[in-house]
Structure 1
Amino acid sequence: MASNQLLHVNVPTPTGHLEGILKPEAEGVVPDFVSVICHPHPLGGGTMHNKVVFKVAQALQMVDVPALRFNFRGVGHSSGSYDEGRGEMDDVRYALDFMSHRYPGVPAIIAGFSFGSYVGLRVACADDRVHAMIGLGVPARMFNSGETLAQCHKPKLFVHGTADELAPYNLATEWFEHVSAPKRLITLQGADHFFKDYLPEIQTLVADFARSLTLPQSIES
């Protein structure tokens, strides 16, 4: 059973902090995984309070995965200013640092929606602390040709709507073909970029994916 507690936290950075909300594990639960959730584009009004981000956090909490959602630099009370994705990738690393300090040795799941999936996936593949990743409404055209995740062999879940007006479905499916296994793409027929009317499905898909994960062999042994 998930904790009912929400902790408002400050994630330390070299120049200040990032504003965050942590949903910790329930009392007595020893989590197998933790998670960091990345919000959509700051210049488009994206924040950690986005409905999709909130539903992803809820889904992970349902399966006893502590969930940290945070505001990128320059959003809300987070220090700094928008940095075209470069600094935002550092922000994801700072969020991982925060969770690694609180939960030493516990592998992480990185989840991101839209722009948040772009920066989150790029960090997740290269960071050994991350075991699995989730991309919702991935903006495939933001990735360069060499950034297809073709050499990233971590478990991956992607969810995309066929009526996505900002990240066209056909581009997402073409990009997905070059992503390495293990991977799964769930298509939501008629869903737009913001998954209007499909948030319960998002919650179920994310919870099921997290529940299906097994610990890395190095930890199991």
Structure 2
Amino acid sequence: MNAQTRRLLVDGPVGPIEVAIDAPAGPPRGLALVAHPHPLFGGTLDNKVAQTLARAWLQLGFVAVRPNFRGVGGTAGSFDHGVGETDDLLAVLDHFTLQIAPQAGLEVHDLPLALAGFSFGAAVAARGAQALQQRGVALQHLTLVGTAVTRFDVPSIKPANAAPLAQRLLVLHGEQDDVVPLPAVLDWARPQQLPVVVFPGAGHFFHGLLLPLRDWVCHWHGAVS
């Protein structure tokens, strides 16, 4: 993403996981994991929307960590329909907080935690948030962009009669998304009484609108941190 981006391999359930790490210049204000879109359709940690989400969290002072999912780049394994990818996301979180951060002198163990994802990655981030809640781990921020509700089983992030999966929730979608139609996302959000921020004129990949996307994430999460 920039000259300061570090790439390394961490241990995962089925072998090494390639990750890219961007750290703020000063003491970190939190840790954000960003999940990329569908691996079988060219999704990698270098996807522009995933990079935009990482830049937003970096601008907010968080350490931003982007893993490559199974079978992508230097990550072992093969596509696992979001199941193994969720396991890998949690493995990266555990490895980072227990090993990488202490070695780099980063104190992140007790700092706010954010998950973010785009398309397939949004589904994985939601699943990861659900798994963290089951672990009893507090998640402060969850950001889902272009959530692939028509292609994968995305859990409710604001379930009825239960605590939301994160303290602060942000769902963004393009008005003219031709991969995951907006009405499908509204159908998913409606039973949860979950607001959806709609970008007028935006397609699935937010072409020409990445800066406004970054700014909205920064504004929302910066205003409520």
The alignment's TM-score, normalised by the length of structure 2, stands at: 0.85
Q: Does the 8 Å contact 1:34/1:65 carry over to 2?
A: yes
Unaligned runs of 5+ in 2: 102-107
Specify the alignment match of 1:92 in structure 2: 89
The Cα of 1:179 is off from its aligned counterpart by: 2.9
Instruction: Please report the RMSD computed on the Cα atoms of aligned residues, expressed in angstroms.
Output: 1.9
Specify the alignment match of 1:139 in structure 2: 148
Specify the alignment match of 1:116 in structure 2: 121
Match of 1:193 among 204, 207, 221: 204
Classify the secondary structure of the residue corresponding to 1:47.
coil
Whole-Å Cα distance in 1 between the matches of residues 220 and 10 of structure 2? 27
For the pair 1:160 / 2:168, whether they are aligned, the reply is no
Q: Does the 8 Å contact 1:37/1:53 carry over to 2?
A: yes
* Residues 1:208 and 1:11: Cα distance change in structure 2 (over 3 Å): farther
Whole-Å Cα distance in 1 between the matches of residues 187 and 16 of structure 2? 37
* Residues 1:49 and 1:173: Cα distance change in structure 2 (over 3 Å): same
Structure 1 segment 1-221 matched on structure 2, within 5 A? 5-26=4-25, 29-101=26-98, 102=101, 103-127=108-132, 128-144=137-153, 147-149=155-157, 150=159, 151-153=162-164, 154=166, 155-179=168-192, 184-214=195-225
Classify the secondary structure of the residue corresponding to 1:48.
coil
Whole-Å Cα distance in 1 between the matches of residues 71 and 163 of structure 2? 30
Whole-Å Cα distance in 1 between the matches of residues 153 and 124 of structure 2? 13
Whole-Å Cα distance in 2 between the matches of residues 10 and 152 of structure 1? 34
* Corresponding residue pairs, total: 207
Counterpart residue type for residue 19 of structure 1: E
Whole-Å Cα distance in 1 between the matches of residues 163 and 7 of structure 2? 33
The Cα of 1:75 is off from its aligned counterpart by: 0.4
Counterpart residue type for residue 175 of structure 2: T
The Cα of 1:32 is off from its aligned counterpart by: 2.7
Q: Does the 8 Å contact 2:18/2:75 carry over to 1?
A: yes
Where has structure 1 moved over 6 Å in runs of 4 or more? none
Classify the secondary structure of the residue corresponding to 2:212.
helix
Q: Does the 8 Å contact 2:123/2:153 carry over to 1?
A: no
* Residues 1:129 and 1:16: Cα distance change in structure 2 (over 3 Å): farther
Counterpart residue type for residue 33 of structure 2: V
Whole-Å Cα distance in 2 between the matches of residues 193 and 106 of structure 1? 32
Whole-Å Cα distance in 2 between the matches of residues 189 and 91 of structure 1? 34
The alignment's TM-score, normalised by the length of structure 1, stands at: 0.86
Classify the secondary structure of the residue corresponding to 1:19.
strand
Specify the alignment match of 2:105 in structure 1: none
Whole-Å Cα distance in 1 between the matches of residues 3 and 208 of structure 2? 25
The Cα of 1:140 is off from its aligned counterpart by: 1.7
The Cα of 1:184 is off from its aligned counterpart by: 4.2
